[in-house]
């Protein structure tokens, strides 16, 4: 395989963009493990450190499930603006969202590393607060990551909360509104189908977020991120293959999927774990009115779920040609 190296005369701005993405990918793939190992080593060599952090963790135990603890200087860091410009990533508003209400936002597709959702809801790089004033975004993430020492604090600083019902309900029942609960509905399993040209969404039987919205009377907002699946190639893993079976098995054991993705490197463009420089346009649809029902029936959930799918398809069809999706391509649901 011929390796295409990056030229030496790259402007500083592009180097900073690449460095910011290296940091982001590293935080997803290795930071949690490093934090865990560092805390373990410190604990073995310093009883005082162990006692202090254990005390802090116990006192702070409920914070993730009670809206988190965002740190605005981290959300507004210049690192995220460089990362935004790397692709680049754009947030597209199509309707107003009333800041007196709480919302459930369905983000599609998950992609490999949910790059668009991270920048929109966990940072201010794409101007979420300017486009939707009065709204505070909370992005849901697998609960297990909030059990890793120090890494949990890093996640909380961006506004991330655990992906469990108690954490979601806390955000949605806050009096006065103004909260957005963002959910990558397809989850880790959908990441196994994330590759360029793919428009298959794991949504047909994903109805928990619909029931959640009904129980709190929170309007549903469909969001489609054009370009999210274009960032990485992935080793072929069709249903029924040994690789796919292994990935499903590991997901059942660990709670996370392990897509074998690849794209480019830091100093060359032929292979590596950095995403391609391809644009992402995340389109926020209009809110779907949801009637509050404490214990909705399955029929009511199914009906609203179908409405949500129809609105998501409509959003996709209305905008796809603007973002280089062929006219004959449509969403598929599994």
Q: Return d(Cα 87, Cα 276) in angstroms, integer.
A: 8
Architecture of the structural domain at 12-333? 3-Layer(aba) Sandwich (3.40)
Residue 42 scores a pLDDT above 60? no
Cβ distance 321 to 262 under 8 Å? no
Can you give the pLDDT at residue 198?
96
CA 145 and chain centroid, separation: 14
**pLDDT single digits (tens) 51-98:** 887 898 889 999 999 999 999 999 999 999 999 999 999 999 999 999
| pLDDT number for residue 193 | 95
pLDDT tens digits, 89-139: 999 999 999 999 999 999 999 999 999 999 999 999 999 999 999 999 999
Q: Is the predicted pLDDT of residue 189 greater than 70, yes or no?
A: yes
**Its pTM surpasses 0.85:** yes
- Quick one: how far is CA 22 from the chain centroid? 17
Quick one: which of 330, 309, 323, 112 has its CA closest to 228?
112
pLDDT of 38: 57
Determine the Cα–Cα distance for residues 225 and 238; give it in Å rounded to an integer. 24
Distances (CA, A) of 257 to 79, 193, 252: 27, 11, 9
What pLDDT is stored for residue 31 in this prediction?
57
Rounded Cα distance between 165 and 212, Å, is: 8
254-310 tens-digit pLDDT: 777 889 999 999 999 999 999 999 999 999 999 999 999 999 999 999 999 999 999
> What are 154-178's pLDDT values in tens digits?
899 999 999 999 999 999 999 999 9
């Amino acid at each position: 395989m011929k390796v295409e190296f990056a030229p030496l005369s790259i402007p500083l701005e592009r180097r900073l963009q690449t460095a910011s993405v290296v940091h982001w990918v590293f935080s997803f793939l290795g930071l949690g493990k490093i934090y865990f190992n560092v805390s373990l080593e410190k604990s073995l060599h310093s009883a005082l450190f162990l006692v202090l952090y254990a005390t802090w963790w116990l006192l702070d135990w409920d914070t993730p499930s009670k809206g988190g603890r965002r740190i605005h200087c981290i959300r507004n860091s210049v690192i995220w603006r460089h990362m935004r410009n790397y692709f680049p990533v754009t947030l597209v508003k199509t309707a107003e969202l009333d800041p007196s209400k709480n919302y459930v936002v369905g983000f599609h597709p998950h992609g490999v590393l949910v790059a668009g959702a991270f920048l929109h809801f966990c940072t201010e790089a794409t101007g979420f607060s300017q486009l939707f004033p009065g709204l505070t975004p909370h992005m849901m993430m697998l609960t297990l990551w909030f059990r890793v020492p120090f890494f949990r604090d890093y996640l909380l600083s961006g506004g991330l909360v655990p992906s469990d019902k108690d954490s979601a309900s806390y955000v949605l029942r806050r009096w006065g509104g103004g909260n957005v609960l963002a959910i990558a509905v397809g989850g880790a399993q959908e990441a196994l189908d994330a590759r360029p040209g793919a428009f298959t969404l794991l949504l047909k039987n994903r109805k928990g977020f619909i029931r959640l919205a009904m129980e709190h009377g929170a309007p549903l907002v469909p969001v489609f991120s054009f370009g999210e699946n274009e960032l990485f190639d992935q080793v072929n893993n069709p249903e029924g293959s040994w690789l796919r079976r292994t990935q499903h098995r590991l997901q059942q054991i660990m709670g996370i999927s392990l897509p074998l993705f690849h794209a480019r490197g830091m100093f060359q463009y032929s292979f590596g774990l950095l995403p391609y420089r391809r644009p992402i346009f995340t389109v926020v649809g209009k809110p779907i009115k949801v009637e509050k029902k404490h214990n909705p029936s399955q029929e009511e959930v199914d009906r609203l779920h179908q409405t949500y799918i129809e609105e998501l398809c409509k959003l996709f069809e209305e905008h796809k040609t603007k973002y280089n999706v062929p006219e004959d391509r449509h969403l598929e649901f599994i």
